[in-house]
């Protein structure tokens, strides 16, 4: 039916354009929510979800109850849902969309698939039409036939689909997120919302997790806490640790810190009915003897400091310097997120230490360099006066130039940058600056621009 | 409500534990000291700068901020052994205004950039939190706290908390303040820093970092005097300050345009 016809029949239509992105986002959110049933949830484009409930059904009292619960909760949120449980995701999809009944007992999948139309295979319309012209309308029409002619005519993929819908071969769901090796969770008959309850739950979950990890001598590097609200919203909190962590109290403290630092606080709504803690990345914990621990303790202490600050402020705000082997000032000392065990060497920096001269490099660097107005005697001479941030400075002492050429070998294919002439200068109050002139006068440019790049002590 | 005799005696003992000079003694153990490098200052400080205490560094005017940074880093150099980690907590605004710590510059200043943990904080509240957390970490030698402006949060209670944390862990706290007015804090020393011309032979070279430093608060145990004013030079080679008063007249070719040194404010100190 065209839109015009539809409008003629019923003028009060609300028309919205199809928005595949929004549909996808919505499906993702439903998928998040479905993680309450199993951590392995896969998307079946464009409008389906596949849940691997192997070993998870008994937690909700059996497959019937799980399916009924899932369908009821989703439809009460306003979605039109159909669901089925079967041996493979494809079989379950076929039954849900085209079949009768909803739970197929193991071994019955092939039989259940027989009366379904060929559309249940998830093949495109052209192929269905072509098959219909040959007289094949239902799966039963093909299931008994010899395979070779079908493979020759319609491709191996076609027969594979048939096998999967009949659950004759195993198929696996590709999960949206990698499965965490350690998962613990708590379900509540009565949803909880009080902060204290949530904290207590996290602590018990952390203790469960610790027990699991202890068996294999591992600790978590990446932890994830999932809150499932009764009304279908799911919230995930993740933390990275600086070293493998197992101690429940420490895990608890990190999450508390994370919860405190949230910009939009955790809103329990009508309460959480499932809280799940999983360790996505783990590492072996090296056990050290606590007797000669004094040095280790300090290292541990420092690691936990990095961790706490990182959790609270995000790791991008807790940084260490790295020494790069380059003479280009902007690239010489990048900051990288601090990690424990990342022990940069003091020796890397030795080259900058000149005992006999005043420091050659500023203690603080302006990034990016700020343009300044400069008066110099001659275009390629030292500055006499300069204006930076609207303030005039008279140059009393100037040492330079120190010519630094760009690293042309890194700039292949990029806009060439200009040579810089650096000066260390001191103004009338004794404030010391690091400034540079960009471009060699007469060779690289006519009016070199000056920049303020750093401040000396 | 009756106070038991035991509680009373404990309180009495605690009060006696607080020295006349405001120094809290921890079981009679005197904190480690480090020499500043200038004997006169060491003597006034009662034997050097204290570990595990708060030291304030204030810029006299906003334009002295880079000098104050330099002086504060000098204190870091004094208090921090090269192999121990140290933390620089700076508010975002300070990073924008004055620039970020620069590795080669720090190395050239005599510090060990490999052991620096830089913590960028968005506001004063987070700065205080991060500072307190860091001060509890005994693996550190120094925490350099650089809030921006004159935040309300940095009041007497907050600084007192930080000082107690520093005393307990033995980690020194250096607060680098850009705010003009100096509230009463609980720091052991407070230095007002302004820029000073460096010593050099000619106008074509720049000498060692130099500062005009004024000790305005001196509450260190055993302090030997009220305070004072010195022109100091940072010797990055020895990682010590040295006095440059005597040679100053010769060194500054800018006598004509140099600003009047503002008169000393009333000295506050406990003796």
Same domain, A102 and A211: no
Q: Which residues pair with B195 in a beta bridge?
A: B211
Check residue A392 and give its pLDDT.
93
Check residue A78 and give its pLDDT.
87
User: Which helix (H) or strand (E) segment is B7 a member of?
Assistant: helix B5-17
Which of B63, B119, B204 comes nearest A399 by C-beta? B204
- Give the mean pLDDT of A164-183: 83
Check residue B16 and give its pLDDT.
65
Same domain, A146 and A199: no
Interface mutation target, options B81, B99, B178, B198, chain A, most CBs of A under 10 Å: B99
Check residue A209 and give its pLDDT.
92
Question: Do B175 and B90 form a contact (C-beta atoms < 8 A)?
Answer: no
Per-residue pLDDT at B1 exceeds 60: no
Per-residue pLDDT at A119 exceeds 80: yes
- Find how far residue A247's CA is from the centre of its chain: 25
Per-residue pLDDT at A104 exceeds 60: yes
Sheet holding A218-229, edge to edge: A182-192, A272-284, A218-229, A234-245
B108:A323 CB<8 A: no
Question: Do A197 and A239 form a contact (C-beta atoms < 8 A)?
Answer: no
Q: Which residues pair with A43 in a beta bridge?
A: A49
Interface mutation target, options B74, B101, B103, chain A, most CBs of A under 10 Å: B103
Cis peptide before A368 (omega within 30 of 0): yes
- Give the mean pLDDT of A3-28: 88
User: What count of CB pairs under 8 Å joins A to B?
Assistant: 219
Instruction: Using CA atoms of A21, A27, A30, A35 in order, give the dihedral in degrees to the nearest 10.
Output: -110
Rounded to the nearest angstrom, the minimum Cα separation between B196 and chain A is: 5
The beta strands (E) that lie in A85-192 are given as 182-192
Enclosing domain of residue A374:
364-455
A301 part of a folded domain: no
Query: Per-residue pLDDT tens for B53-77?
Result: 999 999 988 899 999 999 999 999 9
Whole-angstrom Cα distance, residue B215 to residue B226? 8
Query: Per-residue pLDDT tens for B71-82?
Result: 999 999 999 988
- Find how far residue A330's CA is from the centre of its chain: 29
CB neighbour class for A204 (10 Å; exposed up to 12, middle 13-18, buried from 19): middle
A346:B209 CB<8 A: no
Q: Tell me the CATH number at A259.
A: 3.30.1490.100
Same domain, A143 and A206: no
Among A189, A173, A179, CA closest to A60: A189
All residues of chain B having their beta carbon less than 8 Å from the beta carbon of residue A335 are 100, 118
Check residue A161 and give its pLDDT.
87
Q: Binning pLDDT at 50, 70 and 90, where does residue B26 land?
A: very low
Q: Please, what is the angle between helix B156-169 and helix B124-135, to 10°?
A: 20
Same domain, A32 and A97: yes
The number of beta carbons lying within 10 Å of the beta carbon of residue B251 is: 18
A323 part of a folded domain: no
Q: Mean pLDDT: which of A103-107, A228-232, B149-153, B237-241 is highest? A: B237-241
The beta strands (E) that lie in A317-390 are given as 318-321, 335-337, 364-376, 383-388
Same domain, A201 and A282: yes
Q: Does B257 touch chain A (CB under 8 A)?
A: yes
Token duo for residue A211: 């027990």
Query: Per-residue pLDDT tens for A378-409?
Result: 878 889 999 999 999 999 999 989 999 888 88
Interface mutation target, options A261, A349, A353, A363, chain B, most CBs of B under 10 Å: A363
Query: Per-residue pLDDT tens for B182-222?
Result: 566 788 899 999 999 998 888 898 999 999 999 988 888 88
Rounded to the nearest angstrom, the minimum Cα separation between B110 and chain A is: 7
Looking at chain A, which residue has its C-alpha nearest residue B117?
A: A320
Query: Per-residue pLDDT tens for B85-132?
Result: 999 999 999 999 999 999 999 999 999 998 999 999 999 999 999 999
Whole-angstrom Cα distance, residue B121 to residue B91? 5
The number of beta carbons lying within 10 Å of the beta carbon of residue A310 is: 24
Q: Binning pLDDT at 50, 70 and 90, where does residue B36 land?
A: very high
How many distinct structural domains can be found in chain A? 3
Whole-angstrom Cα distance, residue A188 to residue A78? 24
A12 part of a folded domain: no
Residue where one domain finishes, among candidates A165, A193, A212: A165
All residues of chain A having their beta carbon less than 8 Å from the beta carbon of residue B108 are 352-354, 359-361
Q: Is the dihedral of CA A160, A162, A167, A172 positive or negative?
A: positive
DSSP state of A117: B
All residues of chain B having their beta carbon less than 8 Å from the beta carbon of residue A333 are 102-104, 113
Same domain, A153 and A42: yes
Check residue A344 and give its pLDDT.
60
Q: Please, what is the angle between helix A156-165 and helix A89-98, to 10°?
A: 80
Same domain, A151 and A237: no
Structure-token match 């998928």, residue found: A31
Whole-angstrom Cα distance, residue A256 to residue A399? 53
Residue A297 makes CB contacts below 8 A (sequence gap 6+) with: none
Query: Per-residue pLDDT tens for A270-285?
Result: 889 889 999 988 888 8
Q: Where are the domains of chain B?
A: 32-247
Question: Do B135 and B171 form a contact (C-beta atoms < 8 A)?
Answer: yes
A7 part of a folded domain: no
Q: Please give the ipTM for the structure prediction.
A: 0.81
DSSP state of B199: P
Question: Do A218 and A283 form a contact (C-beta atoms < 8 A)?
Answer: yes
All residues of chain B having their beta carbon less than 8 Å from the beta carbon of residue A388 are none
Q: Binning pLDDT at 50, 70 and 90, where does residue B257 land?
A: very low
Interface mutation target, options A390, A426, A452, A454, chain B, most CBs of B under 10 Å: A426
Three-class secondary structure of residue A294 per DSSP: helix
A454:B105 CB<8 A: yes
Question: Do A202 and A277 form a contact (C-beta atoms < 8 A)?
Answer: yes
Per-residue pLDDT at A434 exceeds 60: yes
Q: Confirm or reject CATH 3.40.309.10 for domain B32-247, answering yes or no.
A: no
Same domain, A37 and A137: yes
User: Which helix (H) or strand (E) segment is B12 a member of?
Assistant: helix B5-17
Residue where one domain finishes, among candidates A165, A196, A219: A165
CB proximity under 8 Å: B 66-125 to A: 66-67, 69-71, 73-74, 82-83, 85, 87, 98-110, 112-122
Query: Per-residue pLDDT tens for A183-222?
Result: 898 888 888 988 889 999 999 999 999 999 988 888 888 8
For β-strands B86-91 and B116-121, DSSP reports them as: parallel
Task: Considering only residues A272 and A415, tell me which one the structure prediction assigns the higher pLDDT.
Answer: A272
All residues of chain B having their beta carbon less than 8 Å from the beta carbon of residue A367 are 99-100
- Give the mean pLDDT of A46-58: 86
Q: Binning pLDDT at 50, 70 and 90, where does residue B254 land?
A: very low
Looking at chain A, which residue has its C-alpha nearest residue B231?
A: A430
Whole-angstrom Cα distance, residue B24 to residue B241? 28
Same domain, A114 and A72: yes
Task: Considering only residues A420 and A400, tell me which one the structure prediction assigns the higher pLDDT.
Answer: A420
Whole-angstrom Cα distance, residue A457 to residue B105? 9
Q: Binning pLDDT at 50, 70 and 90, where does residue B253 land?
A: very low
Structure-token match 């002086």, residue found: B71
Same domain, A57 and A90: yes
Question: Do A455 and A427 form a contact (C-beta atoms < 8 A)?
Answer: no
């Amino acid at each position: 039916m065209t839109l015009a016809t539809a409008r003629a029949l019923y003028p009060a239509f609300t028309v919205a354009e199809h928005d595949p992105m929004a549909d996808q986002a919505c499906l993702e959110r439903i998928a998040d929510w479905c993680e309450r049933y199993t951590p392995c949830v896969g998307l079946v484009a464009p409008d389906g979800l596949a849940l691997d409930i192997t070993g998870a059904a008994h937690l909700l009292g059996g497959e019937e109850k799980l399916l009924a619960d899932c369908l009821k909760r989703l439809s009460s949120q306003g979605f039109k849902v159909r669901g089925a449980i079967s041996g493979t995701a494809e079989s379950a999809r076929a039954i849900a969309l085209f079949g009768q009944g909803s739970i197929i007992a193991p071994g019955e999948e092939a039989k259940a698939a027989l009366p379904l139309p060929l559309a249940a295979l998830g093949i495109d319309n052209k192929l269905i039409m072509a098959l219909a012209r040959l007289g094949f309308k239902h799966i039963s029409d093909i299931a008994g036939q010899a395979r070779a002619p079908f493979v020759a005519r319609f491709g191996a993929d076609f027969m594979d689909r048939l096998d999967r819908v009949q659950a004759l071969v195993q198929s696996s769901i590709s999960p949206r997120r990698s499965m965490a090796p350690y998962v613990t969770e708590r379900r509540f008959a009565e949803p909880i919302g009080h902060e204290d309850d949530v904290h207590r739950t996290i602590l018990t979950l952390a203790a469960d997790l610790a027990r699991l990890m202890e068996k294999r001598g591992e600790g978590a590097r990446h932890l994830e806490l999932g809150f499932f609200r009764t009304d279908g919203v799911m919230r995930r909190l993740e933390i990275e640790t600086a070293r493998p962590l197992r101690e429940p109290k420490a895990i608890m403290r990190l999450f508390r810190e994370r919860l405190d630092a949230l910009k939009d606080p955790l809103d329990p709504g009508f309460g959480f009915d499932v809280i799940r803690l999983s360790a996505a990345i783990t590492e072996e914990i090296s056990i050290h003897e606590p007797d000669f621990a004094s040095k280790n303790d300090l290292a541990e202490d420092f690691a936990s400091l990095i961790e706490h600050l990182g959790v609270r402020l995000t790791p991008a705000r807790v940084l260490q310097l790295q020494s790069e082997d380059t003479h280009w000032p902007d690239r010489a000392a990048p900051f990288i997120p601090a990690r424990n065990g990342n022990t940069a060497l003091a020796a890397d920096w030795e080259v900058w230490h000149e005992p006999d001269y005043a420091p050659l490099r500023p203690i603080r660097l302006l990034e990016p360099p700020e343009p300044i107005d400069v008066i110099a005697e001659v275009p390629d001479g030292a500055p006499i006066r300069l204006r930076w941030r609207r303030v005039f400075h008279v140059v009393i002492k100037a040492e330079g130039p120190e010519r630094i050429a760009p690293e042309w070998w890194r700039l292949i294919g990029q806009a060439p940058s200009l040579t810089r002439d650096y000066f260390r200068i001191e103004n009338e109050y004794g404030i010391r600056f690091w400034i540079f002139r960009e471009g060699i006068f007469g060779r690289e440019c006519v009016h070199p621009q000056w920049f303020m790049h750093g401040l000396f002590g | 409500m009756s106070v038991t005799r035991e509680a009373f005696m404990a309180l009495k003992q605690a009060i006696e534990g607080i020295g006349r000079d405001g120094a809290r003694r921890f079981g009679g153990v005197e904190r480690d000291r480090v020499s500043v490098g200038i004997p006169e200052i060491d003597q006034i400080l009662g034997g050097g700068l204290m570990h595990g205490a708060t030291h304030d560094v204030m810029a006299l005017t906003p334009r002295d901020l880079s000098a104050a940074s330099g002086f504060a880093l000098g204190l870091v150099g004094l208090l921090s052994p090269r192999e121990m980690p140290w933390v620089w907590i700076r508010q975002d605004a300070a990073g924008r205004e004055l620039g970020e710590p620069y590795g080669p510059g720090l190395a050239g200043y005599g510090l060990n950039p490999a052991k620096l943990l830089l913590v960028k904080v968005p506001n004063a509240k987070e700065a205080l939190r991060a500072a307190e957390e860091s001060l509890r970490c005994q693996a550190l030698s120094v925490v350099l706290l650089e809030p921006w402006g004159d935040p309300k949060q940095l009041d007497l209670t907050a600084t007192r908390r930080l000082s107690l944390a520093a005393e307990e862990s033995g980690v020194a706290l250096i607060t680098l303040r850009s705010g003009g007015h100096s509230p009463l804090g609980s720091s052991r020393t407070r230095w007002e820093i302004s820029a000073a011309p460096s010593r050099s032979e000619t106008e074509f070279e720049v000498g060692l970092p130099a500062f005009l430093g004024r000790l305005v608060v001196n509450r260190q145990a055993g302090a030997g005097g009220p305070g004072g004013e010195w022109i100091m030079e940072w010797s990055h080679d020895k990682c010590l300050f040295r006095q440059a008063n005597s040679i100053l007249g010769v060194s500054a070719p800018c006598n004509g345009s140099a600003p009047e040194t503002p008169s000393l404010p009333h000295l506050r100190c406990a003796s």
